[in-house]
Amino acid sequence: MTIEATAFARAGLIGNPSDGYFGKTISIIVRNFSATASIEPAERLEIVPSPADLPRYASVDELIASVRRIGYYGGERLMKATIRLFADYCAANGIALKRDCFSLSYRSNIPRCVGLGGSSALVTAAIRALREFYGVFIAREAQPSIVLSAERDELGIGAGLQDRVIQTYEGMVYMDFSREVMETEGRGRYEPMPPSLLPPLFIAYDANLGEGSEVVHNNLRERFARSDPEVVAAMQRFAELTDAARDALTNGRPHELGPLMSENFDLRLRLCRLSERNVRMIEIAREAGAHAKFAGSGGAAVGTYERESMFDALAAAYRAEGFEVIKPIVTG
């Protein structure tokens, strides 16, 4: 019998990148894209690479273009790390795994390395499949930490809990990662919010634009670790913007979300060196009268718009400059 599990893309609505720095965020699931892991019994433990990870190219130029776009690593290392962390979790909790071998395959249509949570979706899907295959219960609030550990501790991918939380809980979630909460509870506090509170949203992205989050976050981590005043103050402000957004949404003022998102981006721009094309994603939205910020580490933007005519103008402007545009599907 084959077991199949799915996890979806996600977008950081407000507060990121403070989730890795004792901040607060609100994130949404994006059901337009997904990652799937499949497990079936086998005589040997086997990881079957996704077609996108097979080392086959039409030419040297195609290989070079692939390396420039997504780097040297694919999903196989994520699957190896996930299996190890799942086994470690079971051992630490006295859970005996009665079957040793299986075949694990995976696939994803989430645009890679553009900040839509592609790596964490693969790990989340694999954890779900392993959990069902072995009949292991993992509390929902504990699962994001296992997913993060597979990426951060095993593979050195610099990131916070935000992606893993929203891909576990789905919908829309307010997340509090303040130092007191993290040190007391070992994880954040997660509050699901009704997606019906949201204003109209769009996502724009360029599949050739992004970088891995480990590239984007490394300088920030170094500066935060040495208590750089600018970075510390920025993380506090990201958290304040998140609380302001939560208050606006829960009290029937969704129109206030857009300006808060714009401030979120402007603050990030002051902190980090961003490529011209990444900045251009935000400029296009502003030129149309909309608001936007990065959905993650760069390569994709999430924003608000007021009416369908504005969305039509946005979509035309983005596509004219080589970006893809979608309306995110947040509910199932």
312 included as an active-site residue:
no
Alpha-carbon span 10 to 168, nearest angstrom: 11
- From the number of C-beta atoms within 10 Å of its C-beta (0-12, 13-18, 19+), residue 295 rates as buried
Alpha-carbon span 87 to 77, nearest angstrom: 16
Instruction: Locate 88 and state its tokens.
Output: 């470690």
Selected catalytic residue, list 19, 163, 176, 206 = 163
For the chain, the C-alpha Rg in angstroms (whole number) is 20
The sign one gets for the Cα dihedral 264, 267, 273, 278 is positive
State which H helix or E strand residue 229 sits in. helix 229-250
Which amino acid is it at 187?
A: R
3-state DSSP assignment of residue 105:
strand
Instruction: Decide the pairing of beta strands 102-108 and 46-48.
Output: parallel
The 8-class DSSP code of residue 71 comes to -
The residues assigned a catalytic role are 163
